[in-house]
Amino acid sequence: MKVTDEQIEFIIERLKEGKPLPEEFKWLLFEGKQEAELGYFGKERDINIITETMAVPLQRVKGFGEIKENKAKYDSKR
């Protein structure tokens, strides 16, 4: 889609005023890839982090309120 002269003028005015552009200009100006990724110096790729992370064995998660085993032991002593 081509940007018209009227739209260009509108964009220039908004930028000079320091105001944000309306959402509809996002797709008009930036065709193609609609997803962005934050990149900075020293950022590692996800795959590198995953492969370098030490593997640990899975362990049973204990939580409060799990008294089924204890209750059975307590009831049998009565």
Domain extent for 23: 1-54
Quote the pLDDT of residue 75.
Answer: 54
Quote the pLDDT of residue 74.
Answer: 52
In a domain, 16, yes or no: yes
In a domain, 22, yes or no: yes
Quote the pLDDT of residue 59.
Answer: 77
In a domain, 10, yes or no: yes
Distance CA 49, CA 42 (A): 12
The confidence band for 51, taking pLDDT boundaries of 50, 70 and 90, is: confident
Quote the pLDDT of residue 12.
Answer: 93
Given a contact cutoff of 8 angstroms between Cβ atoms, the answer to whether 75 and 67 are in contact is: no
Count of domains forming the chain: 1
Distance CA 22, CA 54 (A): 46
In a domain, 61, yes or no: no
In a domain, 77, yes or no: no
In a domain, 29, yes or no: yes
